[in-house]
Structure 1
Amino acid sequence: MSSVAEHFAMLRLAGLPSGESTLRTRTLPISVAAGPILLGMDGLGQRHLLVPVGDAEVVPDRASRGVVTAERGLVLGDAEHRFLDLSCLSSRLDRPFEQLAEDVLRRITESSDDPRSTVSRTLEDWREMLRAAQKGMSRESIVGLTAELELLASLAAVDPLAAIDAWVGPDNAVHDFKRGSRSIEVKATSAVDPSFVHISNVDQLDPAPVAELLLAVFHLRESPSAPNLEERVEALHGLGVPESLLADRLRAVGYTPRMELAFPDRLEVRSFTVFAVGHSFPSVRSTDIRPDARLSVRGLEYDLVLAGLPDEIPEAEVAAALADWMTA
C-alpha cells in the first residue's frame, strides 16, 4: 500500500478542486463496516482522512486548533455517504498530519473497536505533539534532540532495543538515558566558542540516587554535509531501533519526520566529551541546600563551566565506556 504522503502527493498533482468545500479523493485499500476509508484534499489544499460511519453519530472535536474532526457527507456515485472527517487546517501541520493519519489507519487495521473511538483516541494521543508542531521547534530544541539522537545511535550500535528503552528524556525523566541504576545526562551547545552548558535543575548532576552517572557534552555546528534529523531517524531504523517505539519518543518531544522546521537541522558534531559524575564533580545539588530551606527554593538553574572539569573519560575509551554502560 502506498503511504499516506504518496496519496496526498498524487492528489496535489491531480490539481485542487474548485471550491473550498469540494474534495478530490482517493480510496484506500482499508475498509471498516460502513465502507472503504478515503483520503481527500479540498480546494485550499487541506488534507482529510475520511472514515465512513453509516448512520452512526459523529461528535465533532475542535479541541486542537490545527486538526479537527467533524461529520461530512459526500456523494459517491449515485448515493450520499456519511464520514467522520479528520482534517488538517494548518499547512504547518501537513507532515505531522500524514503521520497521524498513518497511525489512525494502523490502529484501525489492528483493532476491532469502533473506528470513531479509534480516531478519537489517536487524536488525543497526538494532541500534545500537534500543539508543539504548530508552535514549532526552537533552535535549542533542535540542537538538544540532535545530541540525544547522536548518543542514542552510539547506544543502539550495542543493543538497539535496550537503547530505545533507555531513552527516557522524552518522558520528562530526571536524566535523558536510564538503564537500571545507571544514568546519562546529555547536554548540547552550538555556540561558536562554547564555555558552558546549562543545567536545568539540582537533580541532573546529583550522583547520589544512581550507581553511575555520566555527563555527555556535544558541541554542534551547522554543516550542509551533516545529516538532518530525518536522516538521523532513518539511520536509527537501520541500526535496528523499532520504528514505532522511536516514533513515540519523537512525538513526545514534538518532532515527526518531514515536519516543517524554522531552524537548520543539519548539525555536525565538532566535539563529544563524556564525564564520570562522582561526588566530587562540581555541581549544585539539593543536599547543598539547608533542609529547612528546601521547601522555599524552587526552579534553581545554573551554568556549568566546561574548562577544567575533572573526571573526563579519555576519547579513546568513550566507546568502551558506553558499551559497558549498556551491558553492565
Structure 2
Amino acid sequence: MATGEYGPAAGSAVTSVPDAAALLEEWTDLAAVAPGDRLFRTRRMARPARLDLRAGLRETDAAPCLVVSPGTAGGAITSFETGGLRLSRVADPAGVLLVLSLEEPARRDLFAAVCSDCLRAVIRGEDEAEDDLLSMFAARLSAWRAFLRDQTGALSRSEMIGIIGELLLFGQLLDIGADALGAWKAPDDGLHDFENAGDSIEVKTSLGGARQLHVSTLDQLDDAGLTSLHVAHVRLIEASDGETLEDIADRIETQLSGERARSAFRNALLRRGLAPGADDDLGPRVRMAGTDFYAVRDGFPRLRRGELALGITDATYQLEVRALTGFQEDAAAVLSRFGGGQ
C-alpha cells in the first residue's frame, strides 16, 4: 500500500524517559528488526501516556524518526526543514502522522538531543496535568526550529552578556508583578527587547567599566509609533561568587508559576539562542552593579533612518554613556509602564 502500515516494531514499548543516548540505542535496536512493507518501523514510548509518540526508522533509508499520531489536532502544526531535521505529514490509514526525521546523517547526535528534549517537555506537561500535550510538543519543536535556523555555533561571550542583561531586566519586571514573559520580545526577533502596549525598552549590557553602548541597527532607537522608548543600561561586574547565564535562567524559571509558564520561558530561552544543558563553566560569573534607564526622546544622541542621506541602508554605532546623563529617568517609573501589582 502507498502509505504502509503503522504499528510497533517487535519488542515492548520504550518504558523510560529516554535521554539522547537511549534514543540512539533505540534506533539501533529498530535497525535489527526485519524490514517489512510499512513506511516506518516504530516502537511506542511508554511516556507520555496521553500522546501516541514513537521512536521510528524510515524503511526507505533507515533514517531515524520521531513519529506522532496527533489525531485531528495536528493540522495547525507547520511543516519545516532546517538544520538537517524535517517535520512532515504522512498519510496513514489511521490518520495523518507527524514525522520528525533526520535528513543529514552527520547530525544524528543533534537529532537525538532534540528528540529527547522534546519528549522531556511533553512529559513535564503530563506530570503537571497539562491537557494539550501536542501543543507543548509543537511549541518546543518550534523553538528548536528557530534555534537551528539562527545559531551557527556556541554563544559568544558578548552574546551571553547580552542575554544576561535581558534576563536580569526580566527578573525586575517579575519582581513588580508585570507580565515579563509576554513583554520579552527579543526571542522572537522583536525590534526592541521588551514591549508592552506601545512602551518599549532596549537593553544594553556592559561588563566592567564600559563607557560606550553599542547600537546595532538604525531602527533600534527609533521611537516612531511608540508611547515611550527607553534604553536600559544593565551594569555587571565579574565576581567568583556571581551567577552564570544558566544560574540566572534557572533562578527565574523557579519564580514562574505553573508548567505552562515555565515551558514558555524555556522555549523563549531556546529561541534566544540558549540550548538546554549548556555548560555552566562557559561564560562569566557576574553580579549586577545596577541598571540605569534613559528616555529616548528629542535631543537623544542617535541616528534615524529618515534623517540620513539617501543610499545609507543601515549602520551600527557607539553611544557615549556620559552623553546620556540628561535623559536618565527613575527605574520604578519606567518599569511601572509594564504593569504589575506592586
TM-score in terms of structure 1 length = 0.67
2:46 corresponding residue in structure 1: 28
Moved more, 276-285 or 150-159: 276-285
After superposition, the C-alpha distances for 1:87-110 in whole angstroms (9 at most, x for unaligned) are 694556765553333346669973
Distance 1:63 1:84, change over 3 A: closer
**Does 1:8 pair with 2:40?**
no
**Does 1:307 pair with 2:341?**
no
Question: Quick one: which of 321, 328, 333 aligns to 1:321?
Answer: 333
1:288 corresponding residue in structure 2: 307
Aligned partner of residue 148 in structure 1, secondary structure:
helix
Q: For residue 292 of structure 2, what is the amino acid of its counterpart?
A: T
**Does 1:205 pair with 2:221?**
yes
**Does 1:298 pair with 2:316?**
no
- Calculate percent identity across the aligned residue pairs: 22
**Does 1:136 pair with 2:154?**
yes
CA contact (8 A) 2:18 2:116 kept: no
CA contact (8 A) 2:204 2:232 kept: yes
Q: How many Å separate the matches in 1 of 2:226 and 2:16? A: 44
Alignment of 1:87-102 (within 5 A): 89=107, 91=109, 96-102=114-120
Q: For residue 239 of structure 2, what is the amino acid of its counterpart?
A: S
Residue 256 of structure 1 deviates from its aligned partner by: 3.2
Q: How many residues align?
A: 288
After superposition, the C-alpha distances for 1:212-254 in whole angstroms (9 at most, x for unaligned) are 2211112334434222233322322333361132233223222
After superposition, the C-alpha distances for 1:130-170 in whole angstroms (9 at most, x for unaligned) are 3445622222221111100100110111224x221111122
Q: How many Å separate the matches in 1 of 2:293 and 2:336? A: 14
CA contact (8 A) 1:138 1:263 kept: no
1:73 corresponding residue in structure 2: none
CA contact (8 A) 1:214 1:276 kept: yes
1:77 corresponding residue in structure 2: none
Unaligned runs of 5+ residues in structure 1 are: 41-46, 54-60, 71-82
Residue 279 of structure 1 deviates from its aligned partner by: 0.7
Q: How many Å separate the matches in 1 of 2:134 and 2:161? A: 41
Q: How many Å separate the matches in 1 of 2:32 and 2:288? A: 49
Distance 1:267 1:133, change over 3 A: farther
CA contact (8 A) 1:146 1:229 kept: yes
Question: Quick one: which of 220, 227, 230 aligns to 2:243?
Answer: 227
Distance 1:123 1:152, change over 3 A: closer
CA contact (8 A) 2:26 2:55 kept: no
CA contact (8 A) 1:66 1:134 kept: no
Alignment of 1:231-242 (within 5 A): 231-240=247-256, 242=261
Q: How many Å separate the matches in 2 of 1:98 and 1:158? A: 36
Distance 1:156 1:94, change over 3 A: farther
**Does 1:167 pair with 2:178?**
no
TM-score in terms of structure 2 length = 0.64
Moved more, 238-247 or 102-111: 102-111
Aligned partner of residue 171 in structure 2, secondary structure:
helix
**Does 1:110 pair with 2:132?**
yes
Distance 1:324 1:63, change over 3 A: closer
Distance 1:125 1:169, change over 3 A: closer
**Does 1:188 pair with 2:176?**
no
1:58 corresponding residue in structure 2: none
Residue 174 of structure 1 deviates from its aligned partner by: 2.0
Alignment of 1:32-111 (within 5 A): 37=53, 63-65=81-83, 67=85, 89=107, 91=109, 96-103=114-121, 110=132
CA contact (8 A) 2:143 2:271 kept: no
State the Cα RMSD in Å: 4.6
Distance 1:193 1:93, change over 3 A: farther
Q: How many Å separate the matches in 1 of 2:205 and 2:152? A: 24
Q: For residue 321 of structure 1, what is the amino acid of its counterpart?
A: A
CA contact (8 A) 1:197 1:304 kept: yes
Q: How many Å separate the matches in 1 of 2:137 and 2:303? A: 46
Q: For residue 202 of structure 1, what is the amino acid of its counterpart?
A: L
Distance 1:150 1:207, change over 3 A: same
Residue 257 of structure 1 deviates from its aligned partner by: 3.0
Moved more, 165-174 or 305-314: 305-314
Unaligned runs of 5+ residues in structure 2 are: 1-14, 34-42, 57-63, 71-78, 89-97
